[in-house]
Amino acid sequence: MWVNMPKASELRINMPSWKFLFQLKHISVKFHLQIESLVTEICNTNSVAELELKLGGFRLYVRRDLTEKNKDTHQPLPVPPASLAVTVKTTTDASDLNGSVSTSLAISKQEPSSGGIISFLDRAADEGLMILQSPRVGFFRRSRTIKGKRAPPSCKEKQIVKEGQVLCFIEQLGGELPIETDISGEVIRILREDGEPVGYGDALIAILPSFPGIKKLQ
């Protein structure tokens, strides 16, 4: 997939088997949502193999191989593929009088995390753990940026935290949203690396409530 845009901040689309990270800048939130909706529809259909969209200086080009979709449906189901990560590379053409920026996105296979987040989450409920989730798409940050420098991490594993305490941040469009815990307890595991892209509802931190039995019954 290749996307050419004049400029851009960051928009990430996270779906069960697709992850797209667009670099956008000085473009309205409404336009972000329209692009996200368009790409979502393309990924949810089996009839679109190639699409090109041009709006002024904005160009979106999508192409994918539908060969796998057309195989015999009676064949054994394949092993679910690993999640897809998007590598973004931006280059500027010095000879372009309009000063446009060409951004290319390459989809590559992302190796499963060594910690086994999925298997950990499967056990979390049985162990009475509560999972702090991301309220939006962006980049996971363990600390905030103050005057261009990273502050110490807001929390660490095995640390006791209180309800309402800020445990991490989600960086999006140049801002950092503080993420608070709604329970008191012990931080059991930090599930994301600093700077890792996350989507809406992604698990961030596992916490053992001070009274896990009460919380589990709710």
Which run of H or of E encompasses 213?
helix 212-217
pLDDT attached to residue 42: 75
Q: All domains of the chain, ordered by start, with CATH?
A: 2-109 (no CATH), 117-217 (2.40.50.100)
The residue among 56, 65, 10 whose CA lies nearest residue 36 is: 10
The residue among 132, 117, 134 whose CA lies nearest residue 197 is: 134
pLDDT attached to residue 92: 43
CB atoms within 10 A of CB 174: 8
Sign of the Cα torsion 194, 81, 18, 131 reads negative
Q: pLDDT, tens digit, for every residue of 70-111?
A: 555 455 555 555 444 444 444 444 444 444 444 444 433 444
> Phi and psi for 37 in degrees, rounded to 5?
-65, -40
Confidence (pTM): 0.44
Structure tokens at 196: 């890792």
Q: Which residues contact 39 (CB under 8 A, 6 or more apart)?
A: 13, 20, 62
pLDDT attached to residue 83: 46
pLDDT attached to residue 69: 54
The 3-state DSSP class for residue 42 equals helix
Which run of H or of E encompasses 138?
strand 138-141
Instruction: Inform me whether the pLDDT recorded for 38 exceeds 80.
Output: no
Instruction: Decide the pairing of beta strands 84-92 and 166-172.
Output: unpaired
Q: pLDDT, tens digit, for every residue of 133-188?
A: 999 999 999 998 888 888 899 999 999 999 999 999 999 888 899 999 999 999 99
Instruction: Give the mean model confidence (pLDDT) for residues 21-43.
Output: 63
- Cα 181 versus chain centre, distance: 20
Which run of H or of E encompasses 119?
helix 117-124
Q: How far is CA 93 from CA 1, 59, 79, 90, 106, in A?
A: 20, 16, 42, 10, 19
